[in-house]
Amino acid sequence: MLTRVTDNTSMCNLDKGDLLREVTVKIGLERIDTQEGITVEALLDSRVTGLVMSSEFARKQGFKLKKLDRPMYVRNVDGLLNKEGPIKHMVEVNIYYQGHRERTEIDVIGGQK
């Protein structure tokens, strides 16, 4: 069962009867090397302890990947290692939201080809 409410929040039933709440906001991402930007929907409070983007998204949008000094191994909520393998790259971006700009690094998760 999926219910949409007017504040752009969705809720769905999970197996154990828990509710999952997803909140997204529109933000701007600017590539540091080209100063070109895009607008994306970002998921808030995904229970990730940092900022992440998929390798497929990074590739399609032309983000310049920077190799990490050492890989970061990722554990899922159930404690198992993520099947995508360790994080080996990140991207530097400017994030824009409601007139605020912040330069930050986003980890890239997923197989890099």
With a cut of 80, say whether residue 15 has pLDDT above it: no
**Per the structure block, which two tokens stand in for 24?**
């997204």
C-alpha 61/C-alpha 59 separation (Å) is 5
Q: Is 57 helix (H, G, I), strand (E, B) or coil?
A: helix
Q: Beta partners for 107?
A: 52, 90
pLDDT tens, position by position, 73-110: 988 878 888 888 899 999 999 999 999 999 999 999 88
With a cut of 90, say whether residue 11 has pLDDT above it: no
| Domains of the chain, each with CATH number or no CATH | 24-109 (2.40.70.10)
Report yes or no on whether pTM surpasses 0.85: no
Contact 31, 37 (CB under 8 A): yes
Give the rounded percent of residues in the chain with a pLDDT score beyond 70: 75
